[in-house]
Structure 1
Amino acid sequence: MEFKYLSILGSGSWGTALAQAFSKRFKNVYLWGRDQEIIDCINKNRENKKYLSGIKLAENIDASTDIYEVFDRGDIVIIAVPTQNIRDVLRKINFPVRKPVISASKGIEIESLKLISDVIYETLDIEKELIFVLSGPSFAKEVALGLPTAVTLAGNSETGEKLQNHMNTNTFRLYLNDDITGVQIGGAVKNVIAIATGASDGLGLGNNARAGLITRGLFEMTRIAKLFGGKPQTLYGLSGMGDLVLTATGELSRNRTFGFLLGKGLSVEKALEEVGQVVEGAKTVKAIHRLIKEKNIELPISEVVYRVIYEKLSPKEAVGILMNRQPKREEL
């Protein structure tokens, strides 16, 4: 396989940041988005003013609203669109795909309770060995600025090594993992836990509470990973614990910020408006809520996050529910 051209679906902050990060490793990077104003701004001004204002983009990034052209041009395709939109976006691709497709989106499809890799396989005419997942502690702004970042690339080892060797840069390092399921669960569920830690911080509950939520949140992530057939140990790596710590504590985290605003007393609608971008955890928690009901699985942090967002439970009441649960042994 020869990799000269990269295609990225999604011109938001993450897709644009990945285009910038990988621009030094490809002759051209083709970026697709729906918003013509964003596309024009990238092509004319070398800037995504809406999502990554002030960051000068590389000259070899070409943006377009033509999804067929962008998808077809790349030797590798990265998907960086909101999780719940991926199936509809990929349905537009009506030709066989014989090149690696990498999901850089994080979440679980609400309607089907399926992971993104499964959605890709069901929607595209593609072999499973060509489907990969990119996940880990990586704020888009820092990636675009060229700050050191380490993430996980999960999928087939043989092709994965070729991707790793070609896509590694001196600021963006990829570690291989064959547990594509566990890696996706980490990337999806950590957003829900980050909403909880943000709400805790918004309530002023302190460092002890935050550490407890992160640790017990990691347990919930491993429990869900096992339910889907993933390896629990995967969640102790970059795509699990690494991403959880970043998203639950970092000031650039949309999910943490959303939770923080809820903790400060804003309504769900006002908090979402204030964040101004997709809060994936607020959608993923719907899928987790369905899992709780259908699989009779205990995930108390995720459950109260769902109730705060969709059943008008106050963050303060959520704390009371968590702290007054039946005493039990610590499971690891």
Structure 2
Amino acid sequence: MESKNVGVLGGGAWGTGLAQALARGGHTVQMWALEPEVKESVNKEHENKRYLPGYKLSENLTVSNDIIEVATGKEFLIIASPSLFLASTIRKITAVPNIADGTTVIASLTKGFVPSADGPKLILETIENVLPGIYKGNTVYVAGPSHAEEVAMGKLTGLIAASENPKNSIKVRELLRVPGLMVYSSLDVIGVQICAAAKNVIAVVYGALDAVSEHSQTFGDNAESLLMAAGLNEIQTLGMAMGATHPETFTSISGVGDLDVTCKSKYGRNRRFGQDIIKSDILSKFSNLDDLIENIGKVGYLPEGAVACKYVHEICERKNIKLTICDGLYRILNKEIRPLDFLDELLIQGKVHA
């Protein structure tokens, strides 16, 4: 396989995990990280001690704190910035020559929604609205059941590269075809993005139910499977309302596959947040959902589902659709209903639709 020159914008766990997979596969990878300590630990000790501690990284992977340096001259640029900072990150690189003329293929790993005056936007729409016009319809979205820890270790992982431009989807698919990764192409850009964002909402509720099930005479594995099936239905309902083009997206690895691993994996931060809602009353630190989002650093890790929940709620109101599980989490985080009362309402009173 021909070695490519790749930039990764974002030195968090997922950005580092995928950068490591590419570097291990023989590509030359430079990653931009905001934090000087990430640069120091990766370049000198080949470990991201802040965001992915305990995983040895390839010497083909280096870090810079200069975003322009990382974006310049790259054949591929992968965006791994959190959704809250996505637009501001992209604005910093638009004048880089290979970005300005559209020669660099751009893909994104970022999950979630981005707020705007006329409602929440998806990731690629946000990126393409900031990038030069040549990128319209040409960026690529990468998602699938893929915890950073296992990707960094080289454990087998399936991903989907979705783009309106089939050639760019194939280019990114081939770039990512390194040991440990199996990558597939998709044209359903909206469906894949909705799956990646909304599954985190379902996983928070799943985590809460999982914590309750440990000592419950009512809830167990059967109830958790019921919740997951109902959650998948809600993700598909949302996706089709948003303009997803392929129903099979939701039964693929980007749909049921990503939902399953996010709900069940020991690495899942959203599952953990749901568990912490029950076990440690973590919501007592916050007055409502907006307070939680504004002070999300107090959680100690990033539960993306809590942020996505707000935007799913807004989309549902705008499109007049009802998603019982997603709405329930919104009410829980907004202190409108107690978690145990919601689970009782959902599963015992039969309001779940599976």
Q: Following TM superposition, by how much is the alpha carbon of 1:312 offset from its aligned partner in structure 2, in angstroms?
A: 5.1
Would you say 1:136 and 2:144 are equivalent positions? yes
Aligned mate of 1:127, from 128, 135, 140: 135
Q: Which residue of 1 aligns with 2:311?
A: 287
Alpha carbons of structure 1 residues 157 and 94: separation in structure 2 relative to 1, 3 Å: closer
Q: Which residue of 1 aligns with 2:269?
A: 254
**Deviations 1:236-289 (CA, angstroms, capped at 9, x unpaired):** 101110000000111110000000111224222669668622211110001011
Aligned mate of 2:172, from 152, 158, 163: 163
Mapped to 1, the partners of 2:8 and 2:350 lie a distance apart of 48
What amino acid sits opposite 1:309 in the alignment? Answer: L
Alpha carbons of structure 1 residues 83 and 165: separation in structure 2 relative to 1, 3 Å: same
Mapped to 1, the partners of 2:64 and 2:150 lie a distance apart of 24
Answer yes or no: is the 8 Å Cα contact 2:9–2:78 preserved in 1: yes
Mapped to 1, the partners of 2:170 and 2:10 lie a distance apart of 25
Q: Alignment partner of 1:17: what SS?
A: helix
Q: Following TM superposition, by how much is the alpha carbon of 1:326 offset from its aligned partner in structure 2, in angstroms?
A: 7.3
Answer yes or no: is the 8 Å Cα contact 1:110–1:286 preserved in 2: no
Q: Following TM superposition, by how much is the alpha carbon of 1:209 offset from its aligned partner in structure 2, in angstroms?
A: 1.6
Alpha carbons of structure 1 residues 318 and 236: separation in structure 2 relative to 1, 3 Å: same
Would you say 1:216 and 2:216 are equivalent positions? no
Mapped to 2, the partners of 1:141 and 1:62 lie a distance apart of 18
What TM-score results when the alignment is normalised by the length of structure 1? 0.93
Identify the range of structure 1 (138-147 vs 155-164) with the bigger mean alpha-carbon deviation.
155-164
What amino acid sits opposite 2:112 in the alignment? Answer: G
Q: Following TM superposition, by how much is the alpha carbon of 1:320 offset from its aligned partner in structure 2, in angstroms?
A: 2.6
Mapped to 1, the partners of 2:308 and 2:3 lie a distance apart of 33
Q: Which residue of 1 aligns with 2:41?
A: 41
Mapped to 1, the partners of 2:61 and 2:346 lie a distance apart of 48
After superposition, residues 290-329 of structure 1 pair within 5 angstroms as: 290-311=314-335, 313-323=337-347
Q: Following TM superposition, by how much is the alpha carbon of 1:26 offset from its aligned partner in structure 2, in angstroms?
A: 4.6
**Deviations 1:166-220 (CA, angstroms, capped at 9, x unpaired):** 3201211111111111000000000000001000011123112211111010011
What amino acid sits opposite 2:273 in the alignment? Answer: F
Q: Alignment partner of 1:170: what SS?
A: coil
What TM-score results when the alignment is normalised by the length of structure 2? 0.88
Q: Which residue of 2 aligns with 1:89?
A: 89
Would you say 1:8 and 2:8 are equivalent positions? yes
Mapped to 2, the partners of 1:43 and 1:70 lie a distance apart of 14
Identify unmatched segments of 5+ residues in structure 2: 214-218, 287-295
Answer yes or no: is the 8 Å Cα contact 1:5–1:26 preserved in 2: no
Would you say 1:106 and 2:121 are equivalent positions? no
Mapped to 2, the partners of 1:166 and 1:27 lie a distance apart of 9
Q: Alignment partner of 2:72: what SS?
A: helix
Q: Alignment partner of 1:23: what SS?
A: helix
Identify the range of structure 1 (310-319 vs 14-23) with the bigger mean alpha-carbon deviation.
310-319
Mapped to 2, the partners of 1:61 and 1:102 lie a distance apart of 18
After superposition, residues 241-280 of structure 1 pair within 5 angstroms as: 241-268=256-283, 276-280=300-304
Answer yes or no: is the 8 Å Cα contact 2:223–2:347 preserved in 1: no
Would you say 1:176 and 2:185 are equivalent positions? yes
Aligned residue-pair number: 329
Answer yes or no: is the 8 Å Cα contact 2:25–2:179 preserved in 1: no
**Deviations 1:83-136 (CA, angstroms, capped at 9, x unpaired):** 121011111123214321111111111334110000011011142343001000
Answer yes or no: is the 8 Å Cα contact 1:137–1:244 preserved in 2: yes
Q: Alignment partner of 2:48: what SS?
A: coil
Alpha carbons of structure 1 residues 3 and 179: separation in structure 2 relative to 1, 3 Å: farther
Mapped to 1, the partners of 2:10 and 2:332 lie a distance apart of 30
Q: Which residue of 2 aligns with 1:232?
A: 247
Answer yes or no: is the 8 Å Cα contact 1:194–1:244 preserved in 2: yes
Question: What is the CA RMSD across the aligned residues, in angstroms?
Answer: 2.1
Mapped to 2, the partners of 1:191 and 1:227 lie a distance apart of 18
What amino acid sits opposite 1:120 in the alignment? Answer: I
Mapped to 1, the partners of 2:108 and 2:171 lie a distance apart of 17
Answer yes or no: is the 8 Å Cα contact 1:152–1:239 preserved in 2: yes
Identify the range of structure 1 (301-310 vs 267-276) with the bigger mean alpha-carbon deviation.
267-276
Alpha carbons of structure 1 residues 213 and 110: separation in structure 2 relative to 1, 3 Å: farther
Identify the range of structure 1 (68-77 vs 11-20) with the bigger mean alpha-carbon deviation.
68-77
What amino acid sits opposite 1:182 in the alignment? Answer: G
Q: Which residue of 1 aligns with 2:124?
A: 117
Answer yes or no: is the 8 Å Cα contact 1:263–1:315 preserved in 2: yes
**Deviations 1:40-70 (CA, angstroms, capped at 9, x unpaired):** 1111111101122121111111101111111
Answer yes or no: is the 8 Å Cα contact 2:145–2:158 preserved in 1: yes
Identify the range of structure 1 (178-187 vs 204-213) with the bigger mean alpha-carbon deviation.
204-213
